Amino acid sequence: MKQEIAVFEAISSHVRRRILAYLSQTDLSAGEIASRFDISKPTVSRHLSVLENAGLITSRREGQFVYYHLNRDHLVSNIYDFLADFCPVSRTFKKESKTLALARKAKKEGNAHE
């Protein structure tokens, strides 16, 4: 439940939701993300930190740049977990979502070994 709270606190910000939308299209460096906003780079960095601490994004360093990636499965899983408490139909979706996520992960790992 604590993780769900962190996720919903993270997505409560309009800026963070926009960052997630940008990352849903492609991985971006911190500088590329910051260039899309009219706020300071330290402020963007704090938003990225909140998203990363909630498990919604991951980062990787390449040389002097840090690139961010949307952790789509974690976001979807937390939303379905939340909905399951209020909507019985969502319990079915949650099971299907986890099954699809596992299948997608297995397929990705299978392709990596080829």
What average pLDDT score do residues 35-63 get? 95
What average pLDDT score do residues 28-53 get? 96
Q: Mean pLDDT over all residues of the chain?
A: 82
Q: Between 101 and 47, where is the model more confident? A: 47
pTM of the model: 0.70
- Which strands sit side by side in the sheet containing 57-62, from one edge to the other? 28-29, 65-70, 57-62
What average pLDDT score do residues 25-35 get? 96
Give pLDDT, residue 88. Answer: 62
Contact 69, 61 (CB under 8 A): no
- From residue 111, alpha-carbon distances to 37, 58, 63, 98, 106 in Å are 37, 21, 27, 20, 9
Q: Is the pLDDT of residue 58 over 60?
A: yes
Give pLDDT, residue 92. Answer: 56
Give pLDDT, residue 103. Answer: 72
Q: Is the pLDDT of residue 91 over 60?
A: no
The structure tokens listed for 102 are 């596992």
